Chains A and B, each alone.
Chain A
Amino acid sequence: MAEKTHSSLWDTNVTRRQVLKTGAAGGLAVLAAACVPGATQTGQPVDAPAVVSKKTTLTMGIGGDVPGMNVLERAVAPATSVYYAMWDTGMEAQFNADGSRKGLKPMLITDYRVLDDQTTWEFKLREGITFNNGEPWDADAAAWNIEYRLTGETTRTSFRSLLISKYEGVEVVDKHTINVKTNIPFAFTPLIMMYLQVAPPAYYQDVGLEGYGENPVGLGPYKFVEWRKGQHIVLERNPDYWGEQATIDELIFKPFSEDATRVAALQAEEIDMAYNVPPDDAQRLTDAGLEISWIAIGQAMNLTMKTGSNPGHPLESPINDKLVRQAMNYALDKDSLVNDIMGGFAAPLDGQIVGPSCYGYNPDLEAYPYDPDKAIELLAEAGYPDGFTMDFDSAQGRYSKQKEVSEWMVGEYAKVGINLEMQLFEWSAFIDKVYSDQSAPVFYTGRNWYPTMDPENTLKMYECSERRAQVCDDELETMLFAQRAEFDPAKRETILHDIHTYLYDYCPVVYLFEAPDIFGHSTKVKNFVPTPDNRVHLIGMTVEES
């Protein structure tokens, strides 16, 4: 029968005209069917849920698709923008009005202390709160979440990465207390709990990894409503939230991988707020009657130098000489960089790899002044009176004005005789080179201290044993180990000040600026205060009805 149909089609029973007409009509029909409002590939309504009158909605344009809603498996930007609304963390950072660090805010964890053995951390959990499905948040739930992350085969979160090499185990002490054991005294342990976002164990085990990713249940100010892949994620206010209630009823996150489209969507009033606005667009948005809010976040943009003190790096290289590294710090006008290239949306680093929002920031240090003559002098003293040539790697697509900053540095260094031969990569190719230690001797990158606002993770790269250590220096390492094992905050802060002073002289990097978080939003959005921890704090924010 099939053969007969086949032959009738291809022989003369059907005319060419009939086939062409049928084909054209079929094409139109398919297109029309696909375009009918409300029809999608899954046959469900595609529009964002209708806004009921008086319900306030905040529509936010984020930097790309959120690949899944399983917070236990992976939590990277831009997904974290959504995750923070749905999942509280163990603790979170608090800031003063000027963005400087104020301390920690207890969230799911209310208190902690280290026991006498210095390797057991006791955590008190918030009592009387539940996940959105009613499961209790208690010691069993906390222990299960920690254990899942540390022993699971598929999970790849920062929580795991930071703790795994020191993790010994977790035990339930009583209904609201757990102990986390580490294999060395590790003062940073409580701060890792700032990455702890949790799933209800019984529900998770019931629906499984994939099921949870599609229908997540959280513990936070907002509840999951809908995830339409590649189109939007909708959350609604959680009326049973344990803490201060959010004011905005509904959140819609829309992905825009192109900055220009995200900015245009804001101008066209399709979204109320845009993340990651390029500095060049800020003025245009302000002129169009929109508002720009920005803050310097916990991310130090720097020119990283792979010094020969690390056994894996070349022994013959100009940057092995401290004088050369200092010269490279003198050779750049950081103010010009911040104002002319970054459009004023950045804060110069004060000669250290962290800013004032970070614990242990040394207020006594100042940025290397712009002094090209001094740079030339130092280069000559180091044996490079005619300068030198060196490979330089950079990328585009990740940081604000990444390519422009890199090109600016090449131009500025040429003025003092340092010829950087730049290779510009796509971001993941670049990061692969950096992570596998195959990059050029100098490369442009950022180093984060958010969300913990603590330098432990930032300074780790200066330890010999780290897989991407740029520096290997005995004196520095002794101080780094000492701060890690120091449980007295005041004493630890003093050691950190010393470390930054040492690094100011050592110059493992060229200190550039603290990266900005720039948001564009409509005037309807009120009480939005950006913070240096690279997250949007939704509690207290309002959207006025237009």
Chain B
Amino acid sequence: MRDYIVKRVLRSFLVLFGLSLGVFALLSISGDPATIMLPPEAPMSEVISLRKALGFDEPVYIQYLKFLSRALRGEFGNSWQYGLPAINLVLEFFPATFQLALAALLFALVVGIPLGVVSAIREGSIIDALGLSLGVVGRAMPSFWLGIMLILVFAVNLKVLPTSGKGELRHLVLPAITLSTAFLAQIVLLVRSGMLDVLREDYIRTAQAKGLQPYTINMRHAFRNTLIPVVTMVGLTFGRLLGGSVITESVFSWPGVGRLAVQAVSARDFPLVQASVVVFALWIVLANLIVDLLYAFLDPRIRYG
């Protein structure tokens, strides 16, 4: 197990290295930040001197090596917009993103799992049709559109929830629902199909033959066996939820890293983009690692060498 973890951690470093190279390359070809950072009336001499000050007069590979050596020490330089250390800004905004992702995850589980279970037990019923519809529609609905619709209905017309911003628990409701919808749909479909498969297994028939209560059969024998892939997906999706928060955070003015990163990309704020991406990537790599390790724990048949 320990060897496996060491191997995975080393591989994660490779992933981060590749990612840093990718981000750097994309930023390098995305345009000259000096022209965007300066007011439009700035003379050419100003552009040249800013390029020099930012190190853009050096060859790209030198710029990358410098970036890499700093990044390894956890330094990304100061954000060009804020004038503050980029990594500090990202870490300051990260808890809000984490909170939103966690809320979305819990909402998806609390609603999605029971709906999936009931859909499977009552296959063909109205609830099943509802669950299936939610599964399809939820995945197809763009989160931008859904977010605006929820704001219009619950904040503007019904006035029961705030439109945006962060503060009390009620500020979290609409963005969490928006962010969770696609995942919720996945959970419903996954639990439903998993339950249907398991309900046809021999051991369920055996349990029924033993005269067990339907509730005991469904929950203890069927549902528990359905949970393993769900837990795996939860881990993987939690990483993705953080990334998916980019749109949700912008729509709901949620002060998280997603919105910060979007603004940084628009302003070509390289240090802030790099710090955001690396923190996101670290999180996803970590989430994947935990899931892989959990796998072995949850399913005793899986062993790592």
Contact-size category for B:
35 or more
Cβ A257 vs Cβ B263 within 8 A: yes
> 0/1 per residue, A21-55, Cβ < 8 Å to B?
00000011011001111001110001100000000
Q: Give B25-57 as 1s and 0s: 1 = Cβ < 8 Å from A's Cβ atoms.
A: 000001110011111111111110010010000
Spot the interface stretch: B65-73, B164-172, B190-198.
B164-172
Contact indicator A428/B266 (Cβ below 8 Å): yes
Among A30, A231, A467, contact of B255 (Cβ-Cβ < 8 Å):
A231
Contacts of A264 in B (CB 8 A): 148, 151-152, 155-156, 163-164
The segment from B82-90, B122-130, B201-209, B279-287 found at the interface with A is B82-90
Q: How far is the CA of A397 from the CA of B44 in the complex (A)?
A: 26
CA distance A76 to B36 in the complex (A): 12
Using known A-B contacts A41-B96, A161-B41, A210-B84, determine if residue A436 contacts B32 with beta carbons closer than 8 Å.
yes
Report if A67-B82 is in contact (Cβ < 8 Å); known contacts: A35-B172, A431-B35: yes
Whether the Cβ atoms of A164 and B43 lie closer than 8 Å is yes
B233: CB under 8 A from chain A?
no
Question: Which of B7-15, B98-106, B134-142, B212-220 has 4 or more CB atoms under 8 Å from chain A?
Answer: B98-106
Given contacts A41-B96, A257-B263, whether A165 and B37 have CB atoms under 8 Å apart is no
Quote the shortest CB–CB distance from B235 to chain A (angstroms). 10
**A interface residues, tally (CB under 8 Å):** 69
A68, B83: Cβ atoms under 8 Å?
Answer: yes
Query: In whole angstroms, what is the CA distance A165 to B47 when docked?
Result: 12
With a cutoff of 8 Å between Cβ atoms, the chain B residues found around residue A162 in the complex are 41
Contact check, B163 vs A258: say whether CB atoms are below 8 A apart. no
Contact with B along A336-355 (1 / 0, CB 8 A): 00000000000000000000
Q: Is the CB of B35 within 8 A of A432?
A: yes
Q: Which residues of chain A from 263 to 285 have any CB-CB distance to chain B below 8 Å in the complex?
A: 264-265, 267-268, 270
| CB closest chain-B residue, reference A468 | B40
Q: Does B24 contact A (CB under 8 A)?
A: no
B169: which A residues are within 8 A, CB to CB?
A: 35-37
Q: Which residue of B lies closest to A257 (CB)?
A: B250
Which among A149-157, A405-413, A416-424, A527-535 touches the partner chain?
Answer: A149-157
Within 8 A of A (CB), among B257-293: 259-260, 262-263, 265-268, 293
The answer to whether A229 and B255 touch across the interface, beta carbons within 8 angstroms, is yes
Interface assignment of B251: CB less than 8 Å from any CB of chain A: yes
In the bound assembly, the distance between CA atoms of A35 and B43 in angstroms comes to 49
Contact of B133 with A by CB under 8 A: no
Shortest distance between the CB of A530 and any CB in chain B (Å): 23
Among B45, B165, B231, B262, the residue within 8 A (CB) of A254 is B165
A residues in contact with B260, CB < 8 Å: 65, 230
Q: Which of A164, A210, A429, A432 contacts B83 (CB 8 A)?
A: A210
| Closest partner residue, chain B, to A260 (CB atom) | B148
**CB of B252 within 8 Å of the partner chain:** yes
Question: Is A209 an interface position by the 8 A CB rule?
Answer: yes
B99 contacts A34, CB within 8 Å? yes
A-B contacts at CB below 8 angstroms, number: 186
> Could you tell me the distance between the alpha carbons of A258 and B93 in the complex, rounded to whole angstroms?
19
Q: Give the residues in chain A near B40, CB-CB below 8 Å.
A: 435
Contact of B46 (CB < 8 Å), options: A161, A260, A261: A161
> What B residues does A228 contact at CB under 8 A?
255
Main DSSP-derived SS at the B contact region: helix
A37 to B256, CA, bound (A): 17
Contact B46–A428 (Cβ < 8 Å): no
The smallest beta-carbon distance between A230 and chain B, in angstroms, is 3
Interface residue A16 (Cβ < 8 Å from any Cβ of B): yes
Are B251 and A261 in touch, CB under 8 angstroms? yes
Interface flag for B162 (CB, 8 Å): yes
A67, B81: Cβ atoms closer than 8 Å: yes
Find chain A residues with CB under 8 A from B94 CB: 41
Residues in B neighbouring A267, C-beta threshold 8 A: 156
- Give Cα A36 to B156, complex, Å: 24
Please name all residues of chain B whose beta carbon is closer than 8 Å to the beta carbon of A260 when the two chains form the complex.
148, 151, 251
CB atoms of B39 and A157 under 8 A apart:
yes
Q: Is B298 an interface residue (CB 8 A)?
A: yes
A201 contacts the other chain (CB 8 A): no
Q: Is A203 an interface residue (CB 8 A)?
A: no
Residue contact B31 to A429, C-beta cutoff 8 Å: yes
A257 touches B253 (CB 8 A): yes
**In-complex Cβ contact of B36 among A165, A230, A428 (8 A):** A428
- A373 on the interface (CB 8 Å rule)? no
Listed in ascending order, the chain A residues whose CB lies under 8 Å from chain B are 10, 16, 19-20, 27-28, 30-31, 34-37, 40-42, 46-47, 64-65, 67-68, 70, 73-74, 76, 153-154, 156-158, 160-162, 164-165, 209-210, 213-214, 228-232, 254-258, 260-261, 264-265, 267-268, 270, 397, 426-429, 431-433, 435-436, 457, 460, 467
> Can you name 4 extra interface pairs (CB under 8 A) apart from A65-B263, A156-B42?
A42-B92, A68-B81, A261-B251, A432-B31
Residue pairs across A and B with Cβ atoms less than 8 A apart, 23 shown, are: A19-B297, A27-B106, A28-B106, A30-B99, A46-B167, A67-B263, A68-B84, A70-B83, A156-B42, A213-B82, A229-B93, A231-B166, A254-B165, A255-B253, A258-B148, A258-B253, A261-B252, A264-B151, A264-B164, A267-B156, A268-B159, A426-B266, A431-B36
Taking Cβ atoms with an 8 Å cutoff, the residues of B that contact A are: 1, 30-32, 35-47, 50, 53, 79, 81-84, 89, 92-96, 98-99, 102-103, 105-106, 148, 151-152, 155-156, 159, 162-169, 172, 231, 250-253, 255-256, 259-260, 262-263, 265-268, 293, 296-298
